[in-house]
C-alpha cells in the first residue's frame, strides 16, 4: 500500500513509478469504557488510537439502548452484550447526544484543510437482533403517536433478512448511521444527533460496504468516530430509529494532503452522492444540489449551467433523514452517465 495515495484507475501507474512503499497496518478497536465517545464529536477530544494514511481499522460498535430496556423488551439476558453492560455501568461522561460512538481515531499528518477518504471495506452483524423504537417528543409523527414503544426484531444472518413480523421480512443492508470527524473547534462538544459539515449522524442507507466517504478535516488528526449501527433503514428514518443493532466495521483511511473540501460527499461503486444538512428541509436540499454542482464543475469540468441541467434530468434527490433536528438531503448521480469513465 502506498500511504496517502488513492490507488484507483489512473493513479496506480504513477504510484508504482514514484511513490515510496510503506507497509500499511491493520488495527482492531474494541469497545471499552476507554474507547467510546458518548454522544459527541469534539475537536478537543483525545484520540484513542493513532494511525497512518493507508491503515485499516476494525471497529467494534454498540447499539445505544440500555441493557434494562432491551431486557424489558424481550431480549434474553444472554444476548445482551457484556461490553454494552460495562459501558453503561462505567462511562459517566456523556452527551449532549445519545449515540455510543467508537473512537476517536487520529490520522497522522491530517491537518485543517486536508481531505480524509474513508473506505468502508466490510460491515458485519455483531448480534442476532435489532430494535426499533419511538417515543413522544421525537420522530416525525410524534403527535400522532404520543407514547413509547420498542420492538425487538430477530435478524437472520444466513438469509440476510429481518423477521419484522408474521409474513413481513425486511432485507438487511448493514450500515452505520453515524460516521464522522471532529467539527471545527468553534463548535465545541458537538451533539452527535444533528449531522453537519463533519458528517456524523447522516443516516444514509447507501453507505454500505463498498462505499467511500470524503470528509473535510476540521481538526488536527481528523478524529474519526463511528457508531449507531443499522441492520437496515428506509429513507427518512421517520420514527427516529432504524433496525438498531451492534455492528463490526472495517475501514481504510486515506489522507489527501492539501485537498480542501467544505462538505462531506460520498461515492458508491455506481454513484456519486452529495449531501446537505439543515434544520430547514429546503435549505438542506439547496446545499445538497449546490454541492453536487460544485463537484461536477471541479471533477467533471462541466459548466454550472450544464451541471444544474444534468441534476434535473438525471439526478435523484433523496431525503435521508427527517428526525435529527438537521434534516438530511442527498443527491445521487449515476456514474454510468459519464461515458469517459468514473
280-317: pLDDT as tens digits: 999 999 999 999 999 999 999 999 999 999 999 999 99
Q: In this structure, what CATH number is given to the domain that contains residue 39?
A: 2.60.120.580
State which residues form the domain around 325.
270-342
Q: What is the pLDDT of residues 151-210, one digit of tens each?
A: 999 999 999 999 999 999 999 999 999 999 999 999 999 999 999 999 999 999 999 999
**Which of 233, 267, 301 is the endpoint of a domain?**
267
How many domains are contained in the chain? Answer: 2
- Quick one: 294 and 164 in the same domain? no
Q: What mean pLDDT do residues 67-75 have?
A: 97
- Sheet of strand 327-334, all strands in order from the earlier edge strand to the far edge: 26-29, 56-60, 247-256, 115-125, 212-216, 265-267, 271-278, 327-334, 316-321
Please state, for a pLDDT cut of 70, what percent of the chain lies above it: 93
**Is there a single domain that holds both residue 152 and residue 170?**
yes
Whether residue 76 is predicted with pLDDT greater than 50 in this model: the reply is yes
Domain final position from 250, 267, 284 = 267
The three cell numbers of residue 150 are 420498542
Among 44, 36, 39, 37, CA closest to 186 = 44
Considering the domain architecture, whether residues 185 and 276 belong to the same structural domain is answered as no
Asked if pLDDT for residue 3 goes beyond 80, the answer is no
Instruction: Identify the H or E element spanning 284.
Output: helix 281-299
Are residues 170 and 96 both part of a single domain?
A: yes
- Domain identity same for 249 and 281: no
Name the residue with higher pLDDT: 174 or 14: 174
pLDDT at 145 over 50: yes
CATH number of the CATH domain containing 299: 3.10.28.20
Q: Distance of alpha carbon 95 from its chain centroid, rounded?
A: 19
| Statement to judge: residues 342 and 195 lie in one domain | no
Residue 6 within a domain: no
Query: Residue 236 has what DSSP assignment?
Result: B
Q: How far apart are CA 123 and CA 97, in angstroms?
A: 24
Amino acid at each position: 500500500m502506498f500511504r496517502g495515495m488513492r490507488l484507483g484507475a489512473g493513479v496506480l501507474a504513477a504510484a508504482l513509478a514514484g511513490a515510496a512503499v510503506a507497509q500499511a497496518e491493520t488495527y482492531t478497536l474494541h469497545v471499552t469504557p476507554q474507547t467510546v465517545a458518548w454522544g459527541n464529536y469534539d475537536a478537543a477530544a483525545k484520540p484513542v488510537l493513532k494511525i497512518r494514511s493507508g491503515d485499516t481499522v476494525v471497529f467494534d460498535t454498540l447499539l445505544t439502548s440500555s441493557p434494562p430496556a432491551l431486557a424489558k423488551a424481550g431480549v434474553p439476558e444472554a444476548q445482551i452484550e457484556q461490553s454494552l453492560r460495562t459501558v453503561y455501568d462505567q462511562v459517566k461522561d456523556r452527551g449532549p447526544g445519545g449515540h455510543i460512538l467508537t473512537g476517536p481515531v487520529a490520522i497522522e499528518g491530517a491537518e485543517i484543510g486536508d481531505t480524509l477518504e474513508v473506505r468502508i471495506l466490510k460491515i458485519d452483524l455483531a448480534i442476532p437482533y435489532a430494535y426499533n423504537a419511538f417515543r413522544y417528543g421525537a420522530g416525525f409523527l410524534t403527535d400522532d403517536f404520543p407514547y413509547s414503544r420498542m420492538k425487538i426484531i430477530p435478524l437472520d444472518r444466513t438469509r440476510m433478512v429481518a423477521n419484522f413480523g408474521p409474513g413481513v421480512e425486511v432485507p438487511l443492508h448493514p450500515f452505520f448511521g453515524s460516521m464522522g470527524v471532529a467539527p471545527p473547534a468553534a463548535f465545541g462538544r458537538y451533539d452527535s444527533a444533528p449531522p453537519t459539515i463533519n458528517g456524523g449522524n447522516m443516516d444514509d442507507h447507501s453507505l454500505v460496504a463498498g462505499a467511500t466517504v470524503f470528509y473535510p478535516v476540521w481538526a488536527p488528526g481528523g478524529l474519526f468516530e463511528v457508531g449507531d449501527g443499522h441492520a437496515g433503514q428506509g429513507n427518512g428514518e421517520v420514527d427516529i430509529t432504524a433496525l438498531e443493532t451492534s455492528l463490526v466495521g472495517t475501514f481504510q483511511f486515506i489522507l489527501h494532503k492539501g485537498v480542501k473540501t467544505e462538505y462531506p460527499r460520498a461515492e458508491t461503486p455506481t454513484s456519486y452522492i452529495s449531501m446537505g444538512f439543515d434544520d430547514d428541509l429546503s435549505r438542506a436540499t439547496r446545499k445538497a444540489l449546490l454541492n453536487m454542482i460544485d463537484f461536477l464543475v471541479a471533477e467533471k469540468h462541466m459548466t454550472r449551467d450544464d451541471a444544474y441541467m444534468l441534476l434535473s434530468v438525471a439526478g435523484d434527490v433523496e431525503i435521508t433523514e427527517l428526525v435529527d433536528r438537521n434534516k438530511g438531503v442527498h443527491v445521487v448521480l449515476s456514474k454510468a452517465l459519464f461515458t469517459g469513465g468514473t
